Amino acid sequence: MIKLGVLGLGTVGSGVYEIVKYRSDMLKKATGEDIEIAKILVRDSSKDRGLDVAEGVMTENPDDILDNPEIDIVVEVMGGIDKAYSYIVRALKAGKHVVTANKAVISLHMEELHKLAEENNCGLLYEASVAGGIPIIKNLKEILKINKVDDIKGILNGTTNFILTKMYDEDLSFEEALSLAHKYGYAEADPTDDVEGYDAARKISILASLAYGTHASIDDVLCYGITSIRTIDVVEFKKMGFVPKLLGCSTRRDNSFSAIVEPILVEENSMFASVKDAFNLVDVLGDNLGELEFYGKGAGKEPTGNAVVMDIIDIILKNYSEFKFEVDKSISSDKGNLFTGLHYLRVSVDREEDKAAVVEKLNASGVQCKYKELERDIIIVTERISSNRIEKLAKEDLGLAKKTFAYLRIESESLVSIDQLNI
């Protein structure tokens, strides 16, 4: 009998609970073990969750799990950083295996937690922390056995993909789409993490760390969210034949890597454009393998619960010990300089006369571009520049205040010059 202690019974925790409860025969067949959820930690054990949890299983005291010698595996699905981190550390020090969906903790403490797990002969698995139901981490570890992986790119956040899809396909406002994403359980407790790109930044930092054998932290990831994209931008994207997607990308050249999360305009007929709602797509480039894509549900109760339970199976079958996370200190981040492209930039102005000032500064910036003036906005497309340069153009050369502009890199194999763009 394997006993689980589950920290959290929200969206993911209830998915885990239901799979363990209703798929017990299949789990026994897969592992040869009976698996029981012995204790579940929540903040409020009196809350009605519509789940038939046996008497005495729910607790508000973490010690009932972390100090319980009968519990073999701790499943952390409560979210947050400090408490979750301290519970994971306690569990590992107590010799308990840990499965977590918490990208915030893994992205921040990856190196230390792997070391701690190894020292205590425990498994530490976190498949659900990246791309929800997609088994990307397990597959990436497999690929890395005989491939060098320099490039990873993906739609890594279900909430923002859902919002952008609803804005593009159904003309919903940003706020309407976000409230739906919350309702479906896709968004983080604080959706700022989703819409500002931090959640995707944590995910790409985890993938980059695994791929490059370095600890890429969230501070190494340049991060822009989707909050500045407005209805007027969507109209312009459609006219140009592009679809906006929030992508997390990482690339390595020699001993430098760049990682970024940013909204990107992809061509209407591209694979990324076809990824709708809360689905994710991760594209991995291995030097033997070539390009490999992983597609599936990136958020939500069942897919994420499935990823967590698959990790539990791997812990029981001891499919965790062969991967060693070793950190190569010679690899460092160069903060997004390796990403370049033509860019779309929209600048909004309050007064007609402000437009002339923007255009004058644009001409003085030295960045080649094309633009058109609308009633209260200027739509600009720039020559190929780096992600750092477009940021400098908006904030320093044009001196634009937050919320008065939006920019997106344009990703297209065929597009080399702004002359090919009709704005």
Ligand X SMILES: NC(=O)C1=CN([C@@H]2O[C@H](COP(=O)(O)OP(=O)(O)OC[C@H]3O[C@@H](n4cnc5c(N)ncnc54)[C@H](OP(=O)(O)O)[C@@H]3O)[C@@H](O)[C@H]2O)C=CC1
Site residues, ligand X (CB under 6 A): 8-13, 41-44, 47, 77-80, 83, 101-103, 128, 132, 185-186, 188-189, 299-300, 304
Q: Which of 39, 96, 153, 203 is catalytic?
A: 203
10 is in an annotated binding site: yes
Residues 191 and 5: their CA atoms lie apart, in Å, by 27
Q: Which does 8 bind (CB under 5 to 8 A by kind): ligand LTNE7NMQ, ligand X, none?
A: ligand X
Angle at 341 between CA 338 and CA 346, to 5 degrees: 125
211, amino acid identity: A
Contact in structure between 301 and 278 (CB atoms under 8 Å): no
188 is in an annotated binding site: yes
24 is in an annotated binding site: no
Residues 122 and 73: their CA atoms lie apart, in Å, by 9
Q: Which does 157 bind (CB under 5 to 8 A by kind): ligand X, ligand LTNE7NMQ, none?
A: ligand LTNE7NMQ
Nearer to ligand LTNE7NMQ, 8 or 132 (CB): 132
CB of 77 to ligand X, least distance (A): 5
248 is in an annotated binding site: no
Q: Which does 406 bind (CB under 5 to 8 A by kind): ligand X, ligand LTNE7NMQ, none?
A: none
12 is in an annotated binding site: yes
Nearer to ligand X, 126 or 407 (CB): 126
Buried b (16+ CB within 10 A) or exposed e, 124-153: bbbbbbbbbbbbbbbebeebbeebebbbbb
* Nearest by Cα to 65 from 114, 17, 98: 98
Nearer to ligand X, 130 or 393 (CB): 130
Q: Which does 11 bind (CB under 5 to 8 A by kind): ligand X, ligand LTNE7NMQ, none?
A: ligand X
Q: Which residue has the closest beta carbon to ligand LTNE7NMQ?
A: 159
CB of 22 to ligand X, least distance (A): 18
CB of 154 to ligand LTNE7NMQ, least distance (A): 11
Nearer to ligand LTNE7NMQ, 113 or 278 (CB): 278
Residues 362 and 220: their CA atoms lie apart, in Å, by 29
Catalytic annotation present for 324: no
Nearer to ligand X, 223 or 347 (CB): 223
Cα distances (angstroms) measured from residue 193 to each of 83, 186, 189, 202, 228? 18, 12, 9, 10, 15
CB of 47 to ligand X, least distance (A): 5
CB of 301 to ligand LTNE7NMQ, least distance (A): 11
Q: Which does 194 bind (CB under 5 to 8 A by kind): ligand LTNE7NMQ, ligand X, none?
A: ligand LTNE7NMQ
241 is in an annotated binding site: no
CB of 238 to ligand X, least distance (A): 29
Q: Which does 159 bind (CB under 5 to 8 A by kind): ligand LTNE7NMQ, ligand X, none?
A: ligand LTNE7NMQ
Interface ranges with ligand LTNE7NMQ (CB under 6 A): 132, 157-159, 186-188, 194, 199, 298-299
Q: List phi, psi (to 5°) of 93.
A: -65, -30
Nearer to ligand LTNE7NMQ, 177 or 187 (CB): 187
CB of 181 to ligand LTNE7NMQ, least distance (A): 7
Cα distances (angstroms) measured from residue 380 to each of 89, 137, 349, 395? 50, 39, 14, 15
158 is in an annotated binding site: no
Contact in structure between 136 and 109 (CB atoms under 8 Å): no
Nearer to ligand LTNE7NMQ, 186 or 407 (CB): 186
Contact in structure between 41 and 5 (CB atoms under 8 Å): yes
Strand partners, 385: 341
Question: Could you tell me which residues are annotated as the binding site?
Answer: 7-14, 103, 188
Q: Which residues are annotated as a binding site for NADPH?
A: 103
Q: Which residues are annotated as a binding site for L-homoserine?
A: 188
Which positions are annotated as active-site residues?
203
